[in-house]
Structure 1
Amino acid sequence: MAIDSFLFQLMYTASAALLYPVVILLLLAVATSLGLIGEFISEYAKRHRNVRELEKVGRSVQESVKASSLDNAAEKLHSLDQNQLVTSFAKDAGDYLKQNSVSSIDWLSEEYEVRMTKRLEQTKILSTVAPMLGLMGTLIPLGPALIGLAQGDILQLANNLMIAFATTVLGLFAGVVGYVLTLIRKRWYWQDMADIDYLVDSMGSEQ
């Protein structure tokens, strides 16, 4: 029994010691989610997609590449004004065309795909980890709360329950923000990737 009591006490002490790190991480998660909301609003305000312009530039680039006029194709790409990632890709691709390095365009498109995936990882991690931290922050104070209940210490019970409920709310808030931003950005980046693939095809880098 002495060994059991020691192990149980050790487990309780270890779990209780995790409360402050969990609370700190939760506060960081909430701060991160607020920052991501601001970043999302800024990104939304800057998004601009003109399908007609994209098709026009794509056809012009295709004709220029077929005519071996890579400098002209590069100028067309540099003039493209679309969503930030698509515009950035077009400028980088234009630089490769000026260097007569058409074979590098496929590699460049894959690099942009990796970049989009990396931008999604932050909100994915937030949407997964924040609720877990909230659950930990809920369960850890329940031990002291039950002890307070058994001892008739209502103040200890109330304080620990307040911590438990607060961490639950914070974890769910950060998780919801991460989940919603991930869904919306995933749709955005799929659209951007489709536009990039169209430009890649217009340059005939796969031919």
Structure 2
Amino acid sequence: MDTIAYYLTHPSALIYVTANALMYPVIILELVLLVFSVFEAGRFTVEMSMRRHRRSLPALRDLTDAARKALAGGDPEGAIAHLGEAVGTSGYGKRFAGRLTPEHMGRAHIVKLLDDTESEVRRRLERTRMLVRLGPILGLMGTLIPISPALVGLAQGDVQTLSDNLVVAFSTTVVGLLIGAIGYVISTVRERKYLQDISDIEYALEITEL
């Protein structure tokens, strides 16, 4: 009861204890995000290596025109094959083309497939955009939390406590910024590639008149 009464009468002490209690959860979460960012960087490298084929607008135009003619001629299988060649060189274009079926070539179904593909793109980008925000936030928290005990150690002449806490503070800052940098690079490049995929799909559908 005395402890509770003390914290109720000294809210600054309660804030101090709460902040210190967050130290280990912040460090653990930052390490988890670091592992996730390295994993995501590996996936990004593999993903970009699979996009070796350079996009060709003339080829895209010719293949989608062939798809339009096949569809007009009553050959939905041929139209799907041409669309697959047109947009299938990219990651999400390949997924979109793989979901097309001769039985569901109506406008409503095509629009739904496109919406689902765009939703997948947003979900993929959200993962790395989260790193851009959370990395520096956790790094800043990991910097500020040890400052209080470091100042207490300085006031008491405890150089060891001061140095230990400053090491933790600066280390968490560096790791947090590293996480944010990895997330930013991946998100920027992926967004450009994915928007091009969606643009190619929309162009192919417009030419094919679906």
* TM, length-normalised to structure 2: 0.90
Q: What residue is the counterpart of 2:193 in the other structure?
A: 188
Aligned residue runs from structure 1 range 48-127, under 5 A: 48=53, 49-80=55-86, 81-93=88-100, 95=101, 98-103=102-107, 104-127=109-132
Q: Which amino acid aligns with 2:90?
A: N
Answering whether residue 44 of structure 2 is matched by residue 37 of structure 1, we say no
Other structure's SS at 1:140 match: helix
Q: Which amino acid aligns with 1:39?
A: R
Other structure's SS at 1:82 match: coil
Q: Which amino acid aligns with 1:87?
A: K
Measure how far apart 1:14 and its partner are.
0.4
**Are the counterparts in 2 of residues 65 and 204 from structure 1 also a CA contact under 8 Å?**
no
Q: Which amino acid aligns with 1:64?
A: A
Measure how far apart 1:131 and its partner are.
0.3
Q: Which amino acid aligns with 1:54?
A: L
Indicate which of 143, 155, 168 corresponds to 1:138.
143
Q: Which amino acid aligns with 1:146?
A: L
The 1:3–1:169 alpha-carbon spacing in structure 2 relative to 1, beyond 3 Å, is closer
**Are the counterparts in 2 of residues 106 and 200 from structure 1 also a CA contact under 8 Å?**
no
Q: Which amino acid aligns with 1:36?
A: E
Answering whether residue 154 of structure 2 is matched by residue 149 of structure 1, we say yes
Answering whether residue 53 of structure 2 is matched by residue 46 of structure 1, we say no
Other structure's SS at 2:89 match: coil
**Are the counterparts in 1 of residues 7 and 13 from structure 2 also a CA contact under 8 Å?**
no
Segment of structure 1 superposing worse, 51-60 or 121-130: 51-60
Measure how far apart 1:32 and its partner are.
1.0
Structure 1: state its 5+ residue gaps: none
The 1:45–1:3 alpha-carbon spacing in structure 2 relative to 1, beyond 3 Å, is closer
Q: Which amino acid aligns with 1:121?
A: E
- Post-superposition Cα deviations, 1:104-134, rounded to whole Å, max 9, x if no partner, equal 1111111111111110000111101110000
Measure how far apart 1:51 and its partner are.
3.1
Question: Residues of 2 paired with 1:131 and 1:21: CA distance?
Answer: 15
**Are the counterparts in 2 of residues 70 and 100 from structure 1 also a CA contact under 8 Å?**
no
RMSD: 1.8
Quick one: percent identity of the two aligned structures? 35
Question: Residues of 2 paired with 1:162 and 1:78: CA distance?
Answer: 55
Segment of structure 1 superposing worse, 185-194 or 51-60: 51-60
The 1:3–1:28 alpha-carbon spacing in structure 2 relative to 1, beyond 3 Å, is closer
- Post-superposition Cα deviations, 1:114-162, rounded to whole Å, max 9, x if no partner, equal 1111100001111011100000000000000000000000000000000
Number of matched pairs: 202
Q: What residue is the counterpart of 1:161 in the other structure?
A: 166
**Are the counterparts in 2 of residues 77 and 91 from structure 1 also a CA contact under 8 Å?**
no
Question: Residues of 1 paired with 2:104 and 2:38: CA distance?
Answer: 44
Q: Which amino acid aligns with 2:149?
A: P
Question: Residues of 2 paired with 1:66 and 1:3: CA distance?
Answer: 78
* TM, length-normalised to structure 1: 0.91
